[in-house]
Amino acid sequence: MEFDFLKWIGHASFVLDVNGKTVYIDPFKIPEDSRKADAILITHPHFDHMNMEDISKIAGNETQIFVTKDSVDKIPIGKVVGVEPNKEYSSNILKFSTIPAYNTAADRLDKHPKANGWVGYILDTGNAKIYHAGDTDFVPEMEKIKVDLALLPMSGTYTMDPEEAISAALRIDAEKVAPMHYKAVLGLEKSKEAEDNFRRRISNSMIMKEIQEPFIF
């Protein structure tokens, strides 16, 4: 399956064409000339996922913005809807379900606690199902996922590291798996090593090219 309707902006940020509508996931470091958003999905309120400077570049009063319930009041623009894990949602623009996103590794439990109710999204475009995992470790809920493309973080520190992401990719039922959310944390040299290892060990891997230039925090 081709995914030419999906572009990786960089980090955990993506833009999709869904039935002629422009949908962003976790917009961050958005180019100034980007298309306006019909809908935005936000996985959690950390600055590199919910960034008001970037949201304001693409959102208008009619933009549908889906965000975790703890952050509904933090977004002063658009038509904001609160979401929670393990639910299904639909609008006149898109249809999606939410998957819990949280840390399980002992040294990361405070980064993305399960109790916060943060999410990943399974977006149904009509032609494909795309899973954006958000910031997470491998969690049991992933075992139930069946999608065309899974987008998995592999930075370590805040999420699965490259080895853990490879293990997750092998356990998720996805036609294709692509890593995300790693270059800014790993750095360019280690990112290249992680990509090469991911590509070598995951037969259904897909290494995407970013729209933006890679950056380091």
208 occurs within a structural domain: no
Does residue 109 carry a pLDDT above 90? yes
Range of the domain at 165: 6-201
Give the model confidence (pLDDT) of 191-214 as tens digits. 999 999 999 999 999 999 999 877
In a domain, 213, yes or no: no
- Determine the length of the chain: 217
Model pLDDT, residue 212: 80
Q: What are 75-85's pLDDT values in tens digits?
A: 999 999 999 99
| 62 located within any domain | yes
Is 108 a domain residue? Answer: yes
- For 30-52, b/e burial (b = at least 16 CB within 10 A) is beeebeebbbbbbbbbbebbbbe
Q: How far is CA 205 from the centre of its chain?
A: 17
Query: What pLDDT, on a 0 to 100 scale, did the predictor assign at position 88?
Result: 98
pLDDT tens digit string along 132-156? 999 999 999 999 999 999 999 999 9
H-only helix segments in 9-114: 52-58
Question: How far, in Å, CA of 198 to CA of 97, rounded?
Answer: 27
Does some domain include residue 81? yes
The structural domain count of the chain equals 1
Residue 143 lies in a domain: yes
User: Is 197 a domain residue?
Assistant: yes
3-state secondary structure 112-154: CCHHHCCEEEEEECCCCEEEECCCCCCCHHHHHCEEEEEEEEC
pLDDT higher than threshold 70 for residue 217:
no
The CATH number of the domain where 67 resides is what? 3.60.15.10
Task: State pTM to two decimals.
Answer: 0.97
Can you read off the two tokens belonging to residue 36? 């306006």
| Other CB atoms within 10 Å distance of the CB of residue 110 | 7
Helix (H, G, I), strand (E, B) or coil at 27: coil
On whether residue 212 sits in a domain, the answer given is no
